[in-house]
Amino acid sequence: MSETTTPDTNPEPTKPTLPEQRAGDLAAAEGETLRKAAVLAAEKVEAPHSLASDAWHELRRNPFFVVSGVLILLLLTIAAFPSWFTGKSPRDAELREHYIDPPQWSHFFQADWFGYDGQGHSIYARMIYGARASIIVGVATTVMVAILGIVIGMLAGYYGGWVDSVLSRVVDVFFSIPLLLGALVILMVTKDRNEWTVVLALGILGWTQIARIMRGSVMTVKNSDFVVAARALGARTPRILMRHILPNAIAPVIVVSTISLGVFIASEATLSFLGIGLREPTVSWGLDIASAHEVLRDAPHVVFFPSAFLSVTVLSFIMLGDAVRDALDPKLR
């Protein structure tokens, strides 16, 4: 009888050939390399940059921002602590000095670097103390017009419809009134004129440009996906306006407000020069220019120094506004 053979149910696995083994090793090594590269890339991933951080990075490299920032910081320090820069009072008069005498080296060593005016006041002391009035008017007016413009512009741009129509017509009415002419009329009927009355006169008429810019910016932002999502999740209108729309629509307003600050300082000096703005005993660069313009040929230095301080201050804020505009606008980069 012949023996029958049964087939082997557990055959031994076939060993891979040498080329197949090398291909598998190469694939494993390549996979390990890709895994390590992915881990290293994940470790090097930085947090996403915000608009503020990107703007600050651009501003630090802008020479106009550095120069204007240093000048503005110096002006703010002078306005806040004028006694640090001069020991004389701007109202002390030395009648033996005369404004037709130009500044001399003796004045330099006496800390009266710019000479004296017609009443014997130290021009240097008046320049130092005059910065306070200009800075107060410029900053306070800018804050006032920014608040009015942002509120009115947000309401008009967000609600639209009849609210936008009514507020836009109100903006058009105020926009049609020239700033200096309207402020001059308001101040002429005011008995007590000081820094705050000038701020009120300029602030009532100076908010229209910011309101228009804010309205257009809000109309662009309110249809964004994050605003629609917040509204769908049940967020209330005040929260949407303050937490979502305002931070994303405020950039153009910051630029315009910074530039407008210099314009308001120049407007205050113009009103004071015309005799409608600040009055004595307030120390103001505009008042000094007004009192010295009659002796421009005989004593040009009396007009030069307040005009130079005013020009440098206005130029500093305009340069700062230009630098902020370049940093906040990605299209300009």
What is the predicted pLDDT for the residue at 226?
Answer: 82
Can you give the pTM of this predicted structure?
0.76
**Residue 150: inside a domain, yes or no?**
yes
Task: Specify the range with the lowest mean pLDDT, choosing from 58-67, 177-186, 250-259, 262-271.
Answer: 58-67
**Residue 91: inside a domain, yes or no?**
no
What is the predicted pLDDT for the residue at 142?
Answer: 92
CB 218 within 8 A of CB 158: yes
The pair of three-digit structure tokens given for residue 56, joined into one six-digit string? 């600050």
Please report, in angstroms and rounded to a whole number, the separation of the first and last CA atoms in the chain.
97
Give 100's pLDDT tier (boundaries 50, 70, 90): very low
In three-state secondary structure terms, 195 is helix
Kindly state the DSSP code that residue 189 receives in the 8-state scheme: T
CB 117 within 8 A of CB 98: no
**Residue 272: inside a domain, yes or no?**
yes
For residues 18-27, average pLDDT: 55
Domain total in the chain: 1
CB 187 within 8 A of CB 122: no
What is the predicted pLDDT for the residue at 46?
Answer: 47
**Greatest CA span in the chain, whole angstroms?**
151
Give 249's pLDDT tier (boundaries 50, 70, 90): confident
Q: Write the pLDDT tens digit of every residue in 281-303.
A: 888 888 888 877 777 677 777 78
For residues 310-327, average pLDDT: 84
pLDDT of residue 108 exceeding 60: no
**Residue 39: inside a domain, yes or no?**
no
User: If you compute the radius of gyration of the chain from its CA atoms, what whole number of angstroms results?
Assistant: 34
d(CA 93, CA 245): 55
β-pair partners for 19 = none
**Residue 188: inside a domain, yes or no?**
yes
CATH number of domain containing 225: 1.10.3720.10
In three-state secondary structure terms, 62 is coil
CB 211 within 8 A of CB 171: yes
**Residue 62: inside a domain, yes or no?**
no
Question: What is the rounded average pLDDT for all residues in the chain?
Answer: 77
Taking alpha carbons only, the member of 32, 254, 272, 240 closest to residue 154 is 240
What is the predicted pLDDT for the residue at 148?
Answer: 92
Burial of 42 from C-beta contacts in 10 A (0-12 / 13-18 / 19+): exposed
Taking each helix axis as running N to C, give the angle between helix 285-292 and helix 300-328, from 0 to 180 degrees, rounded to the nearest 10: 140
**Residue 299: inside a domain, yes or no?**
yes
In three-state secondary structure terms, 4 is coil
Task: Specify the range with the lowest mean pLDDT, choosing from 92-96, 234-238, 276-280.
Answer: 92-96
d(CA 287, CA 279): 8
Q: Which residue has the higher pLDDT, 76 or 108?
A: 76
pLDDT of residue 252 exceeding 60: yes
Boundaries of domain holding 315: 131-332
β-pair partners for 122 = 116
Q: Which residue has the higher pLDDT, 228 or 103?
A: 228
For residues 304-312, average pLDDT: 87
Report residue 9: phi and psi, to 5°.
Answer: -80, -15
d(CA 171, CA 164): 10
The pair of three-digit structure tokens given for residue 304, joined into one six-digit string? 């030069």
Q: Which residues of 195-204 are buried (b: 16+ CB within 10 A; e: fewer)?
A: bebbbbbbbb
Percent of the chain scored above 90 by pLDDT?
A: 6
d(CA 261, CA 322): 13
What is the predicted pLDDT for the residue at 1?
Answer: 46
The pair of three-digit structure tokens given for residue 250, joined into one six-digit string? 């405020």
Task: Specify the range with the lowest mean pLDDT, choosing from 27-41, 252-266, 294-308.
Answer: 27-41
**Residue 79: inside a domain, yes or no?**
no
What is the predicted pLDDT for the residue at 2?
Answer: 47
For residues 44-61, average pLDDT: 61
